[in-house]
Amino acid sequence: MGKFIKIQPSVVCENCIICGSRPVIDQVKGNNFIVRCPKDGTHYQTSPGLVNINDWNMNNRAQDSGDELKLAAN
């Protein structure tokens, strides 16, 4: 372990919401995989299992503040 698998640029995935890094795939114990931030293991990572980019994207999407809606209404 220790080597990450880069996610192809053609795969749509959000950057880490904390540091802005593009995620990588890491193989963990038991032949499972996680999607995680390459810079810091304490940032969000998916549960061990199959590669779950959808879970990564849902948890690393910037929250809408609603400002765009307020501006459009004015």
Instruction: State the DSSP string of 5-30.
Output: EEPPTTS--PPPTTT-PPPEEEEETT
- Tell me the CA distances in angstroms from 26 to 16, 34, 37, 41, one per residue in order: 15, 5, 9, 10
> Count of domains in the chain?
1
Report pLDDT digits (tens) over 7-60. Answer: 999 999 999 999 999 999 999 988 999 999 999 999 999 999 999 999 999 999
| Domain span holding position 59 | 5-73
Side-chain half-sphere CA neighbours of 21 within 13 A: 16
Query: Is residue 69 scored above 80 in pLDDT?
Result: no
